[in-house]
Structure 1
């Protein structure tokens, strides 16, 4: 798979799961294993599916914007802007590793809440 294909697939995978269909996201884009590094999500494919189903049930009106996507080697990094209920906003950076078949097999992330006030006029993007 090319870097461009991996980028396209990482965005599609995350968007499908985030918007409420993690099982389809896994079927289309995940390989034989899924190693999870987010401590709030159980390891493995079922942990991923269960987490995103729960998030969809609890927060159906959340939204996501993909700000940047960077790929190098077998890694893709996504920089996103997430808006949750009551305009609770977060910046996330997700990293996905792809296996030799072009399937996602590992995930890391960092999440930061966007503060209501900033010491500078710059956005977090």
Structure 2
């Protein structure tokens, strides 16, 4: 994992650690409601149109998504923290299936954190991770990747 942070910025270090803890507890450990209560402010503002505002809503959403998904996990590839903001580049795997061949969904998450280190606002951009044979399997099936660089 690539971590970019000023080692003298205690607030940024705490915020980065909290976001990493949130991902792990919410998805890898399968405890989304607990993670949302611990790492999100109650009045959490969500900019992803699929998820309502509020920490409780986030916990409920991910609870429904990962319910029964034994392979659900998130891999954090890059994380940047500066002051009240944390940016992460992640691969969400098996959120919508339990297929062992799932390549996942690449995400860039941006979190704004409060003075207590809880997320108060969130933006994201998501993209299906393809393969060399199928660059984007659900909107351009069987279109080969145009480069060998990979998503991460």
TM-score, structure 1 length as denominator? 0.89
Deviation (angstroms), 1:12: 0.6
**Across the two proteins, how many residue pairs are aligned to each other?**
125
Q: What does residue 53 of structure 2 align with?
A: 43
When Rg is computed on C-alpha atoms for both structures, the one with the higher figure is 2
**Higher normalized strand content (fraction of residues):** 1
How far apart, CA to CA, are the structure 2 residues paired with 1:52 and 1:119?
33
**Structure 1 residue 58: Cα displacement:** 4.6
Structure 1: runs of 5 or more not aligned: none
Partner of 2:138: none
Offset at residue 18 of structure 1 (A): 1.7
2:26 pairs with 1:17: yes
Q: Secondary structure at the match of 1:97?
A: strand
Equivalent position of 2:71 in the other structure: 61
Contact 2:129 2:151 in 1 (8 A): yes
Does residue 121 of structure 1 match 2:130? no
Hey, what does 1:79 align to over in structure 2? 89
RMSD: 1.6
Higher helix share: 1
Q: Which runs of 5+ in 2 are unaligned?
A: 1-9, 133-144
Q: Which has the higher contact order (CA 8 A, sep 6+)?
A: 1
**Displacement of 1:17:** 1.2
Q: Return the offset for 1:93.
A: 0.8
Structure 2: distance between partners of 1:63 and 1:10 = 15
TM alignment of 1:75-114, pairs within 5 A: 75-84=85-94, 85-86=98-99, 87-114=102-129
Q: TM-score normalised to the size of structure 2?
A: 0.75
SS where residue 40 of structure 1 aligns? coil
Q: Which runs of 4+ in 1 moved over 6 A?
A: none
Give 1:45 deviation, angstroms. Answer: 1.8
